[in-house]
Amino acid sequence: MKTKLIVLFTVTLALVCACKAQQNTNTVAVDKKMNSSSKAKKNILFIAIDDLKPMLSNYGETQMKTPNFDRLAGLGMTFTNAHVQYAVCGASRASVMTGTNPDTNKVWDLHTDFRESAPDLISMPEHLINQGYESTGTGKIYHIPSAAKGHDGKTWSIPHVMPKNFDVKYGEPALNHYQSPVTKAKMVQLTKEAEAKGIKKRGKIRQYVLKRLKPSTENVAVGDDAYNDGLFTQTALKQLEQLELGNKPWFLAVGYQKPHLPFTAPKKYWDLYDREKIELAKFQQVSEGTPKFAYHSFGEIRAYSDIDNSLRVGDKIPEAKQRELIHGYMACVSYIDAQIGKLLDDLERRNILDDTIIVLWGDHGFHLGDHTEWCKHSNFEQATRIPYMFAGPGVKKNQKSHHPVNLVDLFPTIFDLAGVQNHAQTDGKSLVPLLDDDKGTTIDMDYAYHQYKRGPKMGYSIRTERYRYTEWHNDNYRSYNNYNTSKIAGRELYDYEKDPLETKNLVKDASYKTIVRELKAKLKTHLTQ
């Protein structure tokens, strides 16, 4: 009897151990599957830069000192013919963050919140959160006045941060921009003057001050953390530490405000450039045969107190001031280049640089005197063309593509690279076929597109490798209305192979008749499909 009990106990113990072993095997398999799934979803560093045109050394601008843009370019793909969908902050950022064109999300200005104009849309990070990601950010990702509460709170699983911990040596910049002691003292004086006149509301006081003193540039010897963009980098590095301590894949957005006006950057970045050697725009007049309504009188920069407010289309800012402004723009770009270097250094220190998807983009270009234009707000090349760079897993290193692409394409591309389920919402297309070094893999679309409104006229353009064709439609036309050739108020054609500066509108040139017909058909298909 005793022997039978021992045998029974031994068999039972063996069965229990076998079950336990099988359970452990299953657990390990599940853990491996979960770890594999987690690794399949890649971390994403999303860098947005305000008003940045491709005035960078990796885009062939030899006068620029931007080694960290070069460094990022060496890690992946640089698109040289990339364009925004609308050349103004609010509309462009709503477009890229939702993956939709302005006529879909109905944001064509600086004031509209896409959550109100198109409430069925979701944001790119919102979709990632639904796919198991942590999402957080700092700086300007949406246009701040048009974003919902919390810098569009639905976009972040960890709240977005706009830091104010400025270097105590300098304190907070006056009116969010200025650190010059002289400027600060004068602004304090003007604030007291406004209050003495009975002006009480903060916004009205701000308007009073800026109407009298609003410098377009500032060059003072301060550290990077004296201005907002230095703080954004600080904050991003802290956020990265928090994200890396978690167990989820992450999306970290860093939105730099420079080189947006005013051109304020620490003196060390101004010192990188010799103002007298700075290249001014070569073509400073309106183009031959181009409709006048294609231009604007650059009201954004005329709002600064050191710019002649009487200037209009065709008028030039004096050369000395042009040099100062371009110098300031270049200094701001180098300031941002240094911030990007700090981000890349930290990824490298953590040994995750090659494992992190990095995308960098500008929200539109910027006129610096060409066509006598300044700022953005047009359908010309300098307003629509942007820097657009990808790096990380799935992207071959040190590549350049001249294929025309759109900023709205970022939405599906980032999901493909990250290894998450894509989203049907987008008007864009994945650029993954272009991110390798195989010339045989490409995308079907052979043009980029964009639009800009001037009064009741909406201008729509397509940009191929060689040409830009634009139609200006009357009566507040949008692409969801019926296309009507009789409502076209003006057209433009530029040949960048023969005329890269857009000096002449060729739309009526008989030698381009076939090209015009082909491009018109492409644009009409784009607007009506």
Closest CA to 228 of 149, 288, 173, 280: 173
Q: Tell me the three state secondary structure of residue 220.
A: strand
Neighbours of 116 (CB within 10 A): 11
Contact 395, 384 (CB under 8 A): no
Rounded Cα gap, residues 183 and 178, in angstroms: 7
Q: Kindly state the helix (H) or strand (E) to which residue 506 belongs, with its residue range.
A: none
- The residue annotated as part of the active site, out of 89, 127, 260, 450, is 89
Q: What is the dihedral of CA 112, 115, 117, 118, to 10 degrees?
A: 140
Q: What is the CA radius of gyration of the chain?
A: 27
Task: Report d(CA 224, CA 170) in Å as an integer.
Answer: 11
Q: Is residue 527 within a helix (H) or strand (E), and if so which, with residue range?
A: helix 513-528
Enumerate residues 6+ apart whose C-beta is below 8 A from 387. Answer: 49, 52, 53, 54, 56, 59, 69, 78, 82, 360, 361, 362
- Round to whole Å and give the CA distance between 433 and 235: 34
Q: Identify whether 17 is a catalytic site residue.
A: no
Cβ atoms 68, 341 nearer than 8 A: yes
Computed from CA positions of residues 124, 128, 129, 130, in that sequence, does the dihedral angle turn out positive or negative? positive
Most distant CA pair in the chain, distance = 112
The pair phi, psi for residue 216, each rounded to 5°, is -80, -15
The catalytic position among 143, 177, 296, 367 is 143
Do 105 and 98 meet the contact criterion of CB atoms below 8 Å apart? Answer: yes
Q: Which of 152, 219, 234 is nearest to 179 (CA)?
A: 219
Answer yes or no: 296 catalytic: no
Adjacent-strand bridge partners of 491: 471
Which stretch of DSSP H or E encloses residue 191? helix 181-196
Starting at the edge strand found earlier in the chain, the sheet holding 448-454 runs 448-454, 457-463, 467-473, 488-495
Number of H helices, E strands in the chain: 16, 16
Burial grade of 352 (CB within 10 A; 0-12, 13-18, 19 or more): middle
Q: Which two tokens stand for residue 371?
A: 């066509």
Burial label for 395, CB within 10 Å (0-12, 13-18, 19+), is buried
Give 287's contacts (C-beta < 8 A, 6+ positions apart): 371, 502, 503, 504, 505
- Residues involved in catalysis: 89, 143
